[in-house]
Amino acid sequence: MTEMVFGATPLRAGDPILPRWWRTLDKWSLACVLGLFAIGLLLGLAASVPLAEKNNLPRFYYVERQALFGGLALVVMLVISMMSPKQIRRIGVMGFLVSFVLILVLPVIGTDFGKGATRWLSLGFVSIQPSEFLKPGFVALCAWFMAASQEVGGPPGKLYSFLAAMVVVVLLALQPDFGQASLVLFSWLVMYFVAGAPMILLMGVAGIAVMGGFFAYGASEHFARRINGFLSSEIDPRTQIGYATKAIQDGGFFGVGVGEGSVKWSLPDAHTDFIIAVAAEEYGTIMVMAIILLYCTIVVRSLLRMLKERDPFARIAGTGLACAFGVQALINMGVAVRLLPAKGMTLPFVSYGGSSVIASGIAMGMLLALTRTRPQGEFAEILRRRH
């Protein structure tokens, strides 16, 4: 009866791991991820060529690197998706600790690549952005704390998760990286809501975040400049937002044609933060709607599966990962159409960037692992655990 109601797939004695993994996997979400990666390579063929020529590199230098990093990300995603929730919790916590230490040393050995924010560790042949890898680990850590607090005699896990969230948000804001800080805070609020937090507390935290925004506006020229540009009634056509807005308008419904777009020659971040503008200009609204549909499918299917999940850690972590994934995509596209101030945030699996695509692979691997169908146990067993 449990399997009929909750759709769990019973395990078979001696069932090999690969057939069991394939049978329990959310294949639609996996297909959507592969579709996003393929679209990213397609757009990269157009968006990254001007940058390669400007830097005196082979025309498809950045596309080849994206294919390499993306292939590694897909392998990592598939391996992690075969893990159990307990293994996901362990690698998530370890990943958080490593990323946290790297963020602590960024002010000493980090670099800003001329972008005004010290977010990267440069190793010469490759650069690493620790905050990208911090996000999935942070979700796993806080979900572990919150799940532990629901056990009889458990620790004050919700308090621990709140303290961890505040420390991480402050460290990211000091870089400054207000986009990632906002995303971390949002994912914590979603998980706290799922774990049973009172609405008054969530509203209080949201109020603190708003006050923090006002403080950042007065204290950070970098932050204030972006907010002022967003609130301005006129768009400077020579800015990134100006170029992106014009490209989206010129693209119309069907686009100007493959390779015929001009925004890639004007935008320095056309292959990263503003790649959706390249998609809108060359392929039109149809391509943009297809990309949105892929992201929505992943998020909605994951949340629907979490409704059936009884393991507190899997339910909380899976919800946090799905919402963070969807909101990051929403922020990136919202910036391009000027619905949100510029954040410097990539489009998962589509934008160019080794740290971004590999971190997205880790996060999606964790989400695919947590959304796999599994026996959920009888109601009586769940009740016995509560008492």
Candidates 268, 258, 227; CA nearest to 48 is: 268
- 3-state helix/strand/coil string of 203-256: HHHHHHHHHHHHHHHHHCHHHHHHHHHHHCCCCCCCCHHHHHHHHHHHHCCCCC
10-residue mean pLDDT profile of the chain (387 residues): values are: 43 69 93 96 85 84 91 96 95 96 87 73 80 95 94 87 93 85 92 85 77 73 68 65 82 82 76 87 93 97 92 95 95 85 84 90 97 64 48
Q: Provide the 8-state DSSP code for 176.
A: T
CA angle 152, 156, 161 (to 5 degrees): 130
Provide the whole-model pTM.
Answer: 0.87
Asked if residue 384 is part of any domain, the answer here is no
Query: Is residue 1 domain-resident?
Result: no
* pLDDT (tens digit per residue) in 271-288: 788 889 889 999 999 999
Query: How many distinct structural domains can be found in the chain?
Result: 1
Rg value, the chain, Cα: 21
pLDDT of residue 51: 80
Cβ count within 10 A of residue 300: 13
Residue 43's closest CA among 300, 270, 218? 270
Asked whether residue 193 is assigned to any structural domain, the reply reads yes
In whole angstroms, give the CA distance from residue 217 to residue 220: 6
Question: What is the percentage of the chain residues whose pLDDT exceeds 90?
Answer: 44
Q: Domain range holding 362?
A: 24-372
Torsion of CA 47, 52, 58, 63, to 10 degrees: -40
Q: Which residue has the tokens 């952005």?
A: 129
**Tokens 């946290």 — which residue?**
100
Assigned domain for 195 exists: yes
Q: Where are the beta strands (DSSP E) in 99-179?
A: 121-122, 127-128
User: Could you tell me if residue 2 is inside a domain?
Assistant: no
Closest CA to 82 of 368, 319, 310, 376: 368
- CB within 8 Å of 74: residues ≥ 6 apart: 33, 34, 37, 361
Q: Is residue 377 part of a domain?
A: no
Q: How many other CB atoms are found less than 10 A from the CB of residue 5?
A: 10
Q: How far apart are CA 47 and CA 327, in angstroms?
A: 23
Residues 125-170: tens digit of each pLDDT: 778 889 999 999 999 999 999 999 988 888 899 999 999 999 999 9
Cis peptide upstream of residue 176 (ω within 30 degrees of 0): yes
> Are 381 and 39 within 8 A, CB to CB?
no
- Domain-located, residue 16: no
Q: Is residue 378 part of a domain?
A: no
